[in-house]
Chains A and B, each alone.
Chain A
């Protein structure tokens, strides 16, 4: 693997990383309340989105790299112009925003707000007004509901229209009707512990979840059945699908609070590559000094970026050998 770019533009731990559709830009959110955008090929910082007054928990960028949406602990969700770095609109909520995601057609945004201070955790869907400069947005959500039982931690739009995919604190994975808020389908025992990340396949027909229960799992988006399980020996914070190659990338490590009592070696602060079909580990990449909080794969499969508790974003570009290697012989695997 080619020497990587280690970018230090954040003063606190990373919370979420996203590539744009073309993969030339990397957006990073951090607890230092700043959102950065970087060139993926050399790790140079392009700009900063400043305005939040609390840890930025989550972000997402639309497929045209036009709008950026971020959610923060200051109870705000903000819409930004990717190009100018201007804040276009601010939605305010009673509690912190934990997760945001664009729909496939960029027309809708789903967000999860925290359950705190007497407020229930809520999932809201907003319709985005893409006309004009983007500053004319409706403050009221198109729909809003409170999932009963365990609170939602992650969410996304699957390919089925009108549904929202969620991962919960209890390890549950569920499908909700975006309008009525009814739970359409659920898999209560998808994981044994908090679902920490949920990333969709390019066609949004299956998805990968990571959990504190030390496993990552591949699920069918329609039936929510578990297709594959990847069991590691460390709590996982993030999991990404490698495009074009049959691998999944898993990251995690000892809890941040326990890191001081564990040595680097046993902390397992590595990105693990697992074979998507055979459920076997094929490789590891070291680098971080703390647990990995988020992993994002380059959309064209030429590299990946990882963000850690140590405040670093590490951008990796694959060597030729990565593309040539066929650890299990010549098998054709549909993506």
Chain B
């Protein structure tokens, strides 16, 4: 090497010891690569070689990384007995390989009576050399954790919602205008790569990242759990928030050297797509391969269906079986699947409030059996049918054959009412000409003896069906529009909306009212029932929101006459409260209290006028935000109320008392706000005026230096009046006196 002065460096003069030290190849000096395997059968001389090969084979079968050659196994010998000692030493290529083998093979059943228990050789040495004197462990400072449901204690009882815009995730409070504030926003901390999702009771918020899922919770949204599932795309919580299901399009692959343990995938999981996790421990419970359903491009999601009590999770293998797994072991319940030839889909029965309310009292006596309903198309000589079974009893409760549905294109969909009182099976079928589709609704009354079934026949195609929560009514959207099958830009499908109610006298479902000639395609019942919003979603030309009340004159009717009056005039209570419009609406969602409705126009669907709006149940706009790149709006769900029925009744009874206090609060708040706003405006005006005064001086100065402001002085106004006289017509008349 030459440098500017021309001299050549002599290598001998330089001290390289530091570099040599740094890059020196380190040899395995210790016994880090040696494992002690205990629990090995005790053998005599004749079978030593056999044992050696058997052990090596067991290891090698687990994968390349833990491969073991027979000659690397050392079997200590007890000369007194002439037999082996029941433990062996195994030497691996490296400490890393030894570690892998330890993780993989510890607890491995060698044969029926022998199970490996493996330790690092160095560990054994360490424990042998352990200092026997007791040292008191240092007590760790207790760190109080934030309460995960702290948001419920808000003094104003406000709800929260999350917005996802651009890359920004923010959690906000929804309240009166002055109380609508950001609850949490930190783009460094809480952010997501795909979307966000609340858990069903609102305890956690999940964010999706290329590495996996993160769950956040508490008032300052701290990280609660992490689930390592690379390139995860879809997630689903179990109803009681105990478990999480994740799905990724990419098969699980376990690279060498990846972290290992109960929270991570192991070699057994390779090639699968669906993973089930325990939220509290963060452990991986089981993985599944996603089986694409035949004839369907898209996989159905959720792929795993949870029973309402988190005890079971079911999975359908189309045409063959329903596999139900028990939690938390994730083992197949009863060690066998429900073999059902031709099964297409199933749904668990939701649990009603009654079952959730008193887990101590009656609950013990009759632990609510889970129920599930499934349907099968016509197979061989057996007609298409819907079956209701209990679980884990697996006995058939009710089976209903569906006739005349042999044609192709026949399809069923199962809708449970949210209390599990009713099950509606929507059966779509072609007419004989196969040109149009018509629809039957088969309604099971699940709470009554022998599960009676009612059929509602409809001439049109039903595009949406929705039960009233906690109610006996349902709404459908039906259409006979010829364009129904071929949606295109600019085509708005004409639809009818109908409401049905259970008639207790006749025990069938009776049409309450049909609203004809609409464009509605989405029904959203308030979570408390009674109110319903009919929306036109995803259309480029229509975006109407209709707010309806189904018990409009209920309040005026005195308690006793109520039933009577309703019988006399069924549809009298149906009243439109308001109608409004949110251009380009893509999502419609009620808040958990059923008082407000949020609508959003998401940039995922289109880029026109993205943003969100919040309405009250009458259709009055509360707020509206037009935000570029707005993607997602989600109300934070609430867990079920802790108040007993009696307490709720008391609240309702004393509503006037309570509302007086709230009204006072509101009045005070309002005057406060307007005073603030006026002060703010005054400040703005003062700032502006001060700046203008300063500016005018500067301008005058500048012009004074330069020249006289030409044309600045108002020239005297010259008014010119011009009289224009026009003779329009002239007639001469001779007046004869």
Contact = CB atoms under 8 A, between A and B. Distances in A.
Interface of A: 21, 63-64, 104-106, 159-161, 203-206, 214, 220, 222, 227, 233, 262-263, 265-266, 277-278, 328-329, 331-335
B681 A203 contact: no
Interface in B524-559: 540-541
A265 B603 CA distance: 19
Interface in B503-530: none
**Number of chain B interface residues as a range:** 20 to 34
A335 B678 CA distance: 21
Given A104-B710, A278-B681, A328-B681, A334 B583 contact: no
B710 A105 contact: yes
User: Is the contact region of chain A dominated by helix, strand, or loop, or is it mixed?
Assistant: loop
B734 to A, nearest CB: 42
A105 B707 contact: yes
Contact of A335 (B682, B691, B692): B692
A122 B703 CA distance: 28
B194 interface: no
A160 B703 CA distance: 8
A21 B711 contact: yes
Contacts of A233: 609, 611, 626
Given A104-B710, A265-B583, A277-B685, A227 B699 contact: no
Contact of B684 (A161, A266, A277, A334): A277
Contacts of A266: 583-584, 608-609
A329 B684 CA distance: 14
B693 A334 contact: yes
B702 interface: yes
A278 B684 contact: yes
B695 interface: yes
B688 interface: yes
A205 B699 contact: yes
Nearest to B708: A105
User: Which 9 residue pairs across A and B have the least CB separation, nearest first?
Assistant: A334-B692, A233-B626, A205-B695, A63-B711, A105-B710, A334-B689, A161-B706, A205-B699, A331-B685
Nearest to A334: B692
A227 B687 CA distance: 10
Contact of A332 (B689, B702, B703): B689
Contacts of B711: 21, 63-64, 104-106
Contacts of B609: 233, 266
Interface of B: 540-541, 583-584, 608-609, 611, 626, 628, 678, 681-682, 684-685, 688-689, 691-693, 695-696, 698-699, 702-703, 706-707, 709-711
A265 B709 CA distance: 46
Nearest to A328: B681
B523 to A, nearest CB: 25
A104 B540 CA distance: 49
B685 A161 contact: no
Contacts of A222: 695, 698
B541 A263 contact: yes
A220 B611 CA distance: 32
B696 A205 contact: yes
27 contacts: A21-B711, A63-B710, A104-B709, A104-B710, A105-B710, A106-B710, A159-B702, A160-B702, A161-B702, A161-B706, A203-B699, A204-B699, A205-B695, A205-B696, A205-B698, A205-B699, A222-B698, A227-B691, A262-B608, A265-B583, A277-B684, A277-B685, A277-B688, A278-B681, A331-B685, A333-B689, A334-B693
A64 B699 CA distance: 22
Contacts of B692: 334-335
A21 B711 CA distance: 10
A98 to B, nearest CB: 26
B702 A331 contact: no
A106 B710 CA distance: 9
Contacts of A334: 688-689, 692-693, 696
A328 B682 CA distance: 10
Contact of A203 (B688, B691, B693, B696): B696
B522 to A, nearest CB: 20
A290 B620 CA distance: 30
B626 A206 contact: no
Contact of B695 (A206, A263, A265, A328): A206
Nearest to A258: B608
Given A227-B691, A266-B608, A331 B699 contact: no
B583 A159 contact: no
Given A63-B711, A205-B696, A277-B685, 17 more contacts: A105-B707, A159-B699, A204-B699, A206-B695, A214-B628, A220-B695, A222-B695, A262-B608, A263-B540, A263-B541, A266-B583, A266-B609, A277-B688, A328-B681, A332-B685, A333-B688, A334-B693
Contacts of B691: 220, 227
A105 B691 CA distance: 25
A316 B684 CA distance: 30
Contacts of B685: 277, 331-333
A89 to B, nearest CB: 22
Contacts of B688: 227, 277, 333-334
A5 to B, nearest CB: 21
Contacts of A277: 681, 684-685, 688
Contacts of B611: 233
B719 to A, nearest CB: 12
A157 to B, nearest CB: 12
Contacts of B709: 104
A159 B710 CA distance: 12
Contacts of A64: 711
Contacts of B703: 159
A214 B678 CA distance: 28
Contacts of B689: 332-334
A74 B626 CA distance: 41
A284 to B, nearest CB: 14
Contacts of B628: 214
Contacts of B540: 263
A250 to B, nearest CB: 15
A222 B694 CA distance: 12
Contacts of B541: 263
A63 to B, nearest CB: 5
A332 B696 CA distance: 16
A218 to B, nearest CB: 10
Contacts of A278: 681, 684
A105 B710 CA distance: 6
A106 B709 CA distance: 12
Contacts of A206: 695
Contacts of B696: 203, 205, 334
A212 to B, nearest CB: 13
B11 to A, nearest CB: 53
A142 to B, nearest CB: 17
A222 B703 CA distance: 14
Nearest to B581: A265
A263 B583 CA distance: 11
A144 to B, nearest CB: 23
A266 B682 CA distance: 35
A328 B680 CA distance: 12
Give the interface centre of B611, B678, B703 by most chain A CB atoms within 10 Å: B703
A227 B710 CA distance: 28
A329 B609 CA distance: 32
A265 B693 CA distance: 42
Nearest to B610: A233
Nearest to A204: B699
Contacts of A203: 695-696, 699
B675 to A, nearest CB: 13
Nearest to B685: A331
A117 B685 CA distance: 49
